[in-house]
A and B are shown apart, each in its own frame.
Chain A
Amino acid sequence: MAGPTYIADDLQHVRLVELDGLTALFHRPSGMTHILAPPAPQILAALSEPGDAGELAVRMAEAFEVEGGEEALTARLAELEAAGLIRRT
């Protein structure tokens, strides 16, 4: 599946704290704090290496029983990109 390739910011640039099902993420480069609900943290982890939506789906399916299709995954990627937590390569 063709599409943009994304990568998450280096984990050295963020501080993650688990909050009972949610994840607080402090993004050092921007000074912003984000509260993430699943599957956002899992997507960030899966994008430590560059990948497009198809590759991301395969990586996530290796670790999880993923519920949802391309539309939902694309929406999650757009959301993380808008927040500045992933970028296109």
Chain B
Amino acid sequence: MNETGENEAKPDRGDGAQPSRRVVLALGAAAASTVVTIRPALAQTAGSVLNCQIPVPAPQAGGSYIAADGSLVAPGTPGAFAPAPRPLTGEEVKALLNGGRTPAGLDSQSAQAYANYIRRLQAGMSGFTCYASLQMPR
């Protein structure tokens, strides 16, 4: 990927041989971490979290079908459901998890599979932050 500039972005050796006015920006090691998330014990965000979104499934698993128990299975698996046509909003997920209300445009069986998928979300997965926010006491 030459367009990253990796060929032209020679590390600054600190010898002053090639002074540059441009700021060096290291992308870091692939295994490094540049984002630390703080999850408040008490969210003061009533209302706003209802606007967050949960993709079903996460984009990394794009195309996977969702089995009735919420697990991800190969596309086309009999009895499993196609990915949600759009990300579900926090408000929809809250209603779905609490009372089983089916989000608009979805059928109830696939919605239940999506609900089970969302219950299985773990930290680091797309949508987890939104789901975790919904669980916080108001």
12 A-B pairs with CB atoms under 8 Å apart are A28-B45, A29-B48, A29-B51, A35-B38, A38-B25, A54-B1, A60-B5, A61-B4, A63-B22, A64-B24, A65-B20, A83-B37
Interface size range of chain A in the complex:
35 or more
Min C-beta distance of B60 to chain A, whole Å: 8
List 4 tightest A-B contacts by C-beta distance, closest first.
A68-B27, A31-B45, A61-B5, A72-B27
Chain B residues near A73 (CB-CB < 8 A): 1, 4, 27
Query: In the complex, are the beta carbons of A61 and B3 less than 8 A apart?
Result: yes
Give the contacting residue for A57; candidates B4, B30, B37, B60; CB below 8 A.
B4
Chain B binding surface SS class? loop
Interface residues of B (CB under 8 A from A): 1, 3-6, 8-12, 20, 22-40, 43-45, 48-49, 51-53, 55, 59-60, 124-127, 129-130, 133, 136
Interface residues of A (CB under 8 A from B): 1, 4, 28-40, 42, 53-54, 57-58, 60-61, 63-76, 78-85, 87-88
CA distance A37 to B11 in the complex (A): 19
CA distance A81 to B125 in the complex (A): 9
Query: In the complex, are the beta carbons of A30 and B31 less than 8 A apart?
Result: no
If A29-B51, A83-B35 touch, does A64 touch B126 (CB 8 Å cutoff)? no
Give the contacting residue for B37; candidates A34, A39, A42, A58; CB below 8 A.
A34
Query: In the complex, are the beta carbons of A81 and B126 less than 8 A apart?
Result: yes
Chain B residues near A28 (CB-CB < 8 A): 45, 48
Chain B residues near A69 (CB-CB < 8 A): 1, 4, 6, 27
Min C-beta distance of B94 to chain A, whole Å: 14
Query: In the complex, are the beta carbons of A57 and B5 less than 8 A apart?
Result: yes
Query: In the complex, are the beta carbons of A29 and B36 less than 8 A apart?
Result: no
If A64-B25, A71-B30 touch, does A58 touch B3 (CB 8 Å cutoff)? yes
Query: In the complex, are the beta carbons of B9 and A54 less than 8 A apart?
Result: no
If A30-B49, A64-B22, A88-B59 touch, does A35 touch B5 (CB 8 Å cutoff)? no
Query: Told that A35-B37, A64-B24 touch, could you supply 18 new A-B pairs with CB distance under 8 A?
Result: A30-B52, A32-B37, A32-B133, A33-B38, A34-B37, A36-B35, A38-B34, A39-B34, A53-B1, A61-B9, A64-B9, A65-B12, A65-B23, A67-B24, A69-B1, A76-B34, A79-B35, A87-B55
